[in-house]
Structure 1
């Protein structure tokens, strides 16, 4: 799963999809291989998004299985890694994810960090992890000014990378976007994948509440 930008609601949507899958009787596994932004509350560095995915995973993975590479600073991963004197190895990340995919949950969701072209190391980006694993991609689009361009460019990049766009989901910020309905309809017409949901602004955005506005991709 990726988004048109950071802070578009990827984790909330991921948890909603995992919750929906569980309600439909499917075994679930949520993974966030790389996370930047973590706190140590007595169990080592842990990222709140990864913890949320862990909570919605019926296979009950250990935290280190959900989020094997965790960085403290809430900044771009390659910068956070440099601050800690660490390198981000794409092949190692792919191997760690494959180790979880062999569990063969009925519905496994791998959440990226930020948008599609987030730098990893050197000229590598996190998109190459999805390419190595040949994963279908769900795109989360935050309905705000600029989202049409961001969504269409991201969808184009995903397809140029040889991956399938399994679907897209719209999220709404606290303030309504001008002509939001018309912009949503434009995305429906132009994005080359089915819309899997349109999530309105929620006062209490829990995984269960969000799941009511979603449907699972046909690849699930």
Structure 2
């Protein structure tokens, strides 16, 4: 079961240095995106060596995504820059891979658009509820991330035969997890907007104001 983290408004400001290892890994992941795109698209995707190198770069970038956040949390090096840049780097890498594969005719465009719309939508929702709290990644969301990375990696590799056919089923699993985890995020975001400490405080203030107005109206009627 996923959990809702505390209201960030009640969290003391971060004092971690901007230049640190987690942020360096995030910047590195952003920096390799153009390199990855070149290797994937070189010679219209017909260069097997380029695609093997693209797979290696993609895998290393995914590994940095796994560890930059973990290192930041465990060592107290969480920064506002990292919070903003990390999801941007993730979307840039995944989006480049999906768009590149579709441009090469290896992956249907509708698959790419479904995944990208979900990822962008979740990012927008995250900013929409940030004043109320942070929704931790669910098991479904984590499984989605693993399935997407595996499916994309299999599509980047110049596979043939049975393995080339099997990768579609991995992508189908990733697609299903993408949609289901996205819907789950929408439900949890709406619930958080209604039940967070900030929302409850605002509701109490509205009830108090309404009660004061009613009491004032009753006194006016009595005086009349």
Instruction: Tell me the TM-score normalized by structure 2.
Output: 0.27
More helix by share: 2
Select the structure of larger CA radius of gyration.
Answer: 2
Taking structure 1 as the reference length, what is the TM-score of the superposition?
A: 0.27
Q: Which has the higher strand share?
A: 1
